[in-house]
Structure 1
Amino acid sequence: MPETTPKGLTRLAFGGDYNPEQWPESVWDEDVRLMREAGVTLVSVGIFSWALLEPAPGEHDFGWLDRLLDLLHEHGIRVDLGTPTVVPPAWFYRDHPDALPVNADGVRLAFGSRGAICHSNADYRAAAADITTRLAERYGDHPALALWHVHNEYGVPVSACYCDSCAAHFRRWLAAEHGSVDAVNAAWGTAFWGQRYADLEQITPPRTAPTVGNPGQALDYKRFADATMRENFVAERDILHRLAPGIPVTTNFMTALSQCDSVDYWAWGREVDLVTNDHYLITDGRRTHVNLAMAADLTRSVAGGAPWLLLEHSTSGVNWQPRNPAKAPGQMARNSLAHVARGSEGALFFQWRQSRRGAEKFHSAMLPHGGTDTRVWREVVELGAAIDALTPVKGTRTDADAAVLWDWHSWWAQNLQWRPSEDHDARERADAFYEALYDRHLTVDFAHPEADLSRYPLVVVPALYLMTEAAGDNLRAYVEGGGTLVVSYFSGIVDEHDAVHDGPYPGALRDVLGLTVEEFSPLLAGQAVRLEGPDGLALGADVWTEFVVPRGAETVWSYADGLTAGRPAVTRHRLGEGTAWYVSTRLAADGLDAVLARAGQDARLAPRADLPRDVEVVRRTGESGTFLFAINHTAADAKVALESAGTELLTGERAAGRLAVPAGAVRVVRLDG
């Protein structure tokens, strides 16, 4: 089995992307001196260096990288070495212009940014394999090497190409996936609009057409594009495994960012030796720490619950959003340690030294333009000491209370054209349900719809439009076995080919929910409805309503107005030893909390009313003990109850009874026993 932790790294990882090629070599000594001052243990290098390593076809210059790795090793800093295949050199595109991707409109994109790659192009694949081989042969046994870093953020900014090479590759993929043109016609429903194909050679990518194209074809092309990128990763990974055994191989994911919704990370998680993630706060006015927790929980889940690594985040502001505020004092440490609480084996940043030139020169860094006499630098040094103090948590796992079902294939299908309402956003519902669970102080695992769910007392399905029959059977078995299930509207509607399940809505879920839906009734922009429920508790909702017919389910809340007035809105169905809840409309935050409170009672999840809002408590457990992380995102001091006494690792103080967590601070207690 390949190694799954960075070789030679005995502490938690702390550091970031190091791009010394942007600076005179005379700066390198200062860099490593300051890295040691900050407590840096791991840096990522070489990710964008192909043009320097191979300045002309077949001509290589490794001297600068030799000197760099030797210098880092001399100062005890481990290296995550990149294969620079995300940006081939300009000469490569001059010689192979067809390696540039073509968009759905038939426009070939130009060189000059990053990630401009047709992943089906044979010349690109050969060149990528060659530079990867040369790096592995030269550095596979270098004493500084801890980890291989293949490519960079697959799917950003281009995942799918629509050129003729991709068309031929797509047809081969279809033959392997479906077996015959008749099977493709059946899966895509090509009898509609006369789209039937007589031969696979007639099939092209879903290029821009006069109106909406075939949704089955579009869904399969998203799967194909993802699989093609993954083929290229696996090719590089296998070279590295063969030539540098004992060094784990990864690539940096972006699990919870909409910019990278083209990648099925459940599949990718099975291919990397160590799951790593890049996370950047989306500063759109929402509570950024909730999205951070969600990203960390999702990354840990992609890793199968095993420890993972935060490979990139920012010390302060980024530079690619419409507005890029700085992080508040102390926020960088809270962000970093919240990732550690949720399973990361450290915290790394983009990047070490802030660039003076290029597209990301206003992106914050560990060593800012202002140098060491800055707030950011002082906080970096303090964080390095904190990360070092948390070394005992290395190798432990985060405990979860509930699961949320998540499937990238369903997002792909949901986001195709011509759905009942453009106002329904499946990702928005996932965010909303996660936030409601977070506010109930529940730690969440994410799970594939066909995964074993038996260990979770509560499973939430925010909005999974696509659901296989196997997934439906899985959820029924989960509830019959004693689980509590909460399902949001427009779930279980189509199968894996985007074909509506036979029979009434919600096809894959109607038995477990004990109901059918006669008709969807989306609301117009600005419309809202009111729900009436237990003890006169009224809830507000918008965007979506349905004509629900109970088939064994009991009505808990009913629609009080609108077309569906008097009909069930929220239902509860006892099945076997468990309970299934259905929410047929878009509830606001208070409504979601009300439903989850009652579902939590069914699941026998004890309420945590003693914890203030935005004070999160997360546990990591393992052979080295049980560690309680208390993270205070508020401006007021807080207290957290401890089940037993212990030692607070960041201050060294003993803690018992109620742990004091100052405003904006983090405390980590290693519990006794």
Structure 2
Amino acid sequence: MTPAEQGTSRLTRVPGVLYGGDYNPEQWPEDVWAEDAKLMREAGVTMVTVGVFSWARLQPGPDTWDFPWFDRLLDLLHAHGVAVDLATATASPPAWLVRAHPEILPVTADGVRLEFGSRQHYCPSSPAYRAAALRLTRTLAARYADHPALALWHIHNEYGDHVTECFCPRSADHFRIWLTHRYETIDALNHAWGTAFWSQRYGTYDEIEPPRTVPGPVNPTQLLDWRRFCSDVLLECHRAEREVLKELSPDIPATTNFMSMFKALDYWKWAEHEDLVSDDAYPDPADPRAHVNAALNYDLMRSLKGGRPWLLLEQAPSAVSWRPVNVPKKPGVQRLWSLQALARGADGIMYFQWRASRAGAEKYHSALLPHRGTASRGWQETVRFGAELARLGEVTGTTTPADVAIVLDWDSWWALESDDHPSARMRWRDLLHPWYAALHARGVTTDFVPPHADLTGYRAVLAPNLHLLRPEHAARITAYVQGGGHLVCGPFSGVVDGHDHIHDGGAPGPLRDVLGVGVDEFWPVPDGQAVRLTSGAEATLWTEWTETEGPETEIVDTYASGELTGRPAVTRHPHGTGTAWYVSAHLGDGIGPVLDDALRAAGVRPVLDVPEGVEATVRTGEPGTYLFVLNHSDHDTRTPLTGAFAAGGTDLLTGAAVHGHLALGPLGAAVLRIATDSPGENQK
């Protein structure tokens, strides 16, 4: 039974906070390995990821295997007290396999077959690729399932990073099989796809092809189903490898590294098949708001398994190598951003990579052990931070409470960003970020939930956009408000159903009763223009001609310029014992006052009243409650300890007792073990 199946929140059998990074020893002669193992111990490394891109070395030919070097590597790491996250190595098929089976290579929508010479050069539907990948996975598992260094299985690597779809004939066959399972009859598919439009009706499934390049707009439901299929087919590859690992090493948990809020893969579905969630996160040091977006992504990772601790599997110690301009992290940022992941539920802090590469596309990517070696600034930070993490082991296994949830649905995201809409500017992340940033600035911890989630226990639920909304999901949201919940819903929501068909009566479709409004017409805002609201807020990108429906709907704000002058912009509607707000415009940073109204009504309080630029979160459980306070600003800050934290506590990073207030320097951080039996967030 895996740790996830046992219900434990510990990620692996390795004690304390996991610390380390990707290790690629095949890039180095063996005499370097001993030095690496010694330095890992010096730095406090507890686990490294190995084998991610080792396929060609482990299996140099169709029936040739080379394991002795790998045996020596794992033995060496174990002898130095370093555990192993062992990758299945299936993300980069070797040249011999590609040349023997050229049909493995993926094909673009324009019919171009992509060549060997990078990574992830495979068609997910290819039988030859799948068979070779499973053979490799089974061989690795049979050999190393009982190795004492093995702590975690790492399946594949960053699914969908370079190739999220393939349009080859085998993919077309697979797509037709997937459609047959989804719809059964061709008449059901024709109804779902609306093929009466433009004479697109199909007589049999054999007539259907993937949405390759065509003369004009592609059927939007076909595109939506294609995106669902592409996520599912990669998940099939993952699940096949996972089943082999479960069979041969049932006691070892397995993960695959997600890529934060990644559009191509429905991570709600993927997380169901993970023992633990892990993430690769690369905030941009050149972005002064990067820590806000990082917090958003970390909250999502924590939420994907219902609040269980997760693993930050990759991040950059300093600069990356793939942006147009690769700015390094100034001293203190790597430590602060790593502690931010821990503050938001991570139980492990890992990096790409251990030793900086001398050749290849990532030779300018930073590493825990930089090119300059132990004389470098980066190495000194690696050692110092490893010592700090060793003091935080008691935090692992605790969870992060949240009173507010944001609804995220990949189907809706895909449908929202389809072509031929009233505005191509309505993009999910652009709509989400101002809402999340407002919560972050107010010190409100947030979960993400799918539209089918049980919302019981959340004081407020936010839906910045739910363009696609199934009636059964709308019924859950409505029942939540009916029972006393507080909902804030953003524009262009409740527009289409699960087939991307417009709801009867138009928007907001099945949310009309709970919101108390109807949308008469969408009124997108041209680029460079803005519409003023009576409150002083400004709408960009989007506005709507809305009508209140029923005397109970209160107009909170109105449009004060343009053709919609005097019409409702923001409304509030009581429903049952709860309340629902509808925001018919994209307000950007102006969303804050609307959320303030809803949060007050819901009784939501910040974790702690903190100065601007300071972030506070709580982790709670056995053996206690821990308050993380992080100063993202470039100046000294002073944070009063009030409410549930008035008694102060002990800073685990320094061992010092803290009472009354917490003083932090620029980029400073504290992790307080709270002295009293507090319940976590002070609003509870």
* TM norm. shorter chain > 0.5: yes
User: Of the candidates 488, 510, 513, which is equivalent to residue 512 of structure 2?
Assistant: 510
User: Of the candidates 165, 185, 188, which is equivalent to residue 183 of structure 1?
Assistant: 188
Alignment partners' CA distance in 1, 2:573 and 2:538 = 22
Q: Does 1:363 align with 2:365?
A: yes
TM-score where L is the length of structure 2: 0.96
Matched with 2:542 is 544
For the 8 Å contact 1:426–1:464, the answer to whether it is kept is no
Matched with 1:103 is 108
Q: CA deviation at 1:121?
A: 0.6
Alignment partners' CA distance in 2, 1:444 and 1:657 = 27
Matched with 2:494 is 492
Q: CA deviation at 1:622?
A: 0.6
Q: CA deviation at 1:8?
A: 3.0
Alignment partners' CA distance in 2, 1:98 and 1:185 = 31
Q: CA deviation at 1:659?
A: 2.0
Q: CA deviation at 1:645?
A: 2.7
Q: CA deviation at 1:610?
A: 3.6
Q: CA deviation at 1:643?
A: 2.9
Q: Does 1:337 align with 2:336?
A: no
Distance 1:512-1:216 versus aligned 2 partners, 3 A rule: same
Q: Which amino acid aligns with 1:545?
A: T
Q: Which amino acid aligns with 1:539?
A: A
Q: CA RMSD in A?
A: 1.2
Q: Does 1:559 align with 2:595?
A: no
Q: Does 1:654 align with 2:652?
A: no
Alignment partners' CA distance in 2, 1:394 and 1:340 = 9
Alignment partners' CA distance in 2, 1:466 and 1:554 = 26
Distance 1:445-1:607 versus aligned 2 partners, 3 A rule: closer
Matched with 1:663 is 666
For the 8 Å contact 1:402–1:443, the answer to whether it is kept is yes
Q: CA deviation at 1:7?
A: 4.1
Q: CA deviation at 1:225?
A: 1.0
Alignment partners' CA distance in 2, 1:303 and 1:652 = 32
Alignment partners' CA distance in 2, 1:7 and 1:133 = 21
Matches within 5 A, 1:609-648: 610-640=609-639, 641=641, 642-648=645-651
Q: Which amino acid aligns with 2:588?
A: A
For the 8 Å contact 1:8–1:146, the answer to whether it is kept is yes
Distance 1:430-1:284 versus aligned 2 partners, 3 A rule: farther
Q: Does 1:574 align with 2:574?
A: yes
Q: CA deviation at 1:451?
A: 0.3
Deviations 1:111-157 (A, max 9, x none): 11111111111111110110101001100000000000010000111
Alignment partners' CA distance in 2, 1:261 and 1:607 = 30
Alignment partners' CA distance in 2, 1:600 and 1:111 = 53
For the 8 Å contact 1:14–1:348, the answer to whether it is kept is yes
Q: CA deviation at 1:284?
A: 6.0
For the 8 Å contact 2:312–2:341, the answer to whether it is kept is yes
Q: CA deviation at 1:337?
A: 0.6
Matched with 2:287 is 285
Deviations 1:383-440 (A, max 9, x none): 1111111000011001113111111111111111111111222211111111111011
Q: CA deviation at 1:607?
A: 5.8
TM-score where L is the length of structure 1: 0.97
Deviations 1:352-408 (A, max 9, x none): 001111001111110111111121111111111111110000110011131111111
User: Of the candidates 251, 260, 265, which is equivalent to residue 256 of structure 2?
Assistant: 251
For the 8 Å contact 2:11–2:310, the answer to whether it is kept is no
Aligned residues, how many?
665
Alignment partners' CA distance in 2, 1:62 and 1:472 = 54
Deviations 1:2-33 (A, max 9, x none): 22355430111000000011111110111011
Q: Which amino acid aligns with 1:594?
A: P
SS of 2:176's partner is helix
Deviations 1:154-212 (A, max 9, x none): 01111111111011111111111111111111111111111000101111111110011
Alignment partners' CA distance in 2, 1:617 and 1:122 = 49
For the 8 Å contact 2:21–2:49, the answer to whether it is kept is yes
Q: Which amino acid aligns with 2:267?
A: Y
Matched with 2:454 is 452
Alignment partners' CA distance in 1, 2:575 and 2:239 = 44
Q: Which amino acid aligns with 1:181?
A: I
Distance 1:609-1:346 versus aligned 2 partners, 3 A rule: closer
Distance 1:299-1:609 versus aligned 2 partners, 3 A rule: closer
Alignment partners' CA distance in 1, 2:648 and 2:317 = 33
SS of 2:537's partner is strand
Matched with 1:404 is 406
Q: CA deviation at 1:323?
A: 1.3
Q: CA deviation at 1:614?
A: 1.7
Matched with 2:269 is 267
Matched with 1:519 is 521
SS of 2:139's partner is helix
Matched with 1:306 is 308
SS of 2:65's partner is coil
Deviations 1:282-335 (A, max 9, x none): 456350000110110000001210011100001111111111111111000011
Q: Which amino acid aligns with 1:321?
A: R
For the 8 Å contact 2:403–2:457, the answer to whether it is kept is no
Matched with 1:603 is 602
Deviations 1:39-64 (A, max 9, x none): 00000000100000111111000111
Alignment partners' CA distance in 1, 2:367 and 2:462 = 38
For the 8 Å contact 1:346–1:387, the answer to whether it is kept is no
Q: Does 1:62 align with 2:67?
A: yes
Matched with 2:92 is 87
For the 8 Å contact 1:331–1:664, the answer to whether it is kept is yes
User: Where does the alignment leave 5 or more consecutive residues of structure 1 unmatched?
Assistant: none
For the 8 Å contact 2:635–2:666, the answer to whether it is kept is yes
Q: Which amino acid aligns with 1:386?
A: E
Deviations 1:462-505 (A, max 9, x none): 11211111111111111111111111101111111111111131
For the 8 Å contact 1:516–1:548, the answer to whether it is kept is yes
Matches within 5 A, 1:190-201: 190-201=195-206
Alignment partners' CA distance in 2, 1:441 and 1:606 = 8
Q: Which amino acid aligns with 1:549?
A: E
User: Where does the alignment leave 5 or more consecutive residues of structure 2 unmatched?
Assistant: 5-9, 677-684
Matched with 1:14 is 19
For the 8 Å contact 1:6–1:247, the answer to whether it is kept is no
For the 8 Å contact 1:615–1:632, the answer to whether it is kept is yes
SS of 2:626's partner is strand
Matched with 1:72 is 77
For the 8 Å contact 1:277–1:299, the answer to whether it is kept is yes
Matched with 2:161 is 156
For the 8 Å contact 2:344–2:617, the answer to whether it is kept is yes
User: Of the candidates 15, 31, 34, which is equivalent to residue 36 of structure 2?
Assistant: 31
Deviations 1:81-120 (A, max 9, x none): 0001110100100000001111111111111111111111
Q: Which amino acid aligns with 2:616?
A: V
Deviations 1:248-303 (A, max 9, x none): 111101122xxx31100000100011111110014563500001101100000012
For the 8 Å contact 1:104–1:208, the answer to whether it is kept is yes
Q: Which amino acid aligns with 1:139?
A: Y
For the 8 Å contact 2:517–2:547, the answer to whether it is kept is yes
Q: Which amino acid aligns with 1:598?
A: D
Percent sequence identity over matched residues?
51
For the 8 Å contact 1:8–1:78, the answer to whether it is kept is no
Moved more, 234-243 or 501-510: 501-510
SS of 2:630's partner is strand
For the 8 Å contact 1:255–1:265, the answer to whether it is kept is no
User: Of the candidates 240, 246, 252, which is equivalent to residue 245 of structure 2?
Assistant: 240
Distance 1:648-1:608 versus aligned 2 partners, 3 A rule: closer
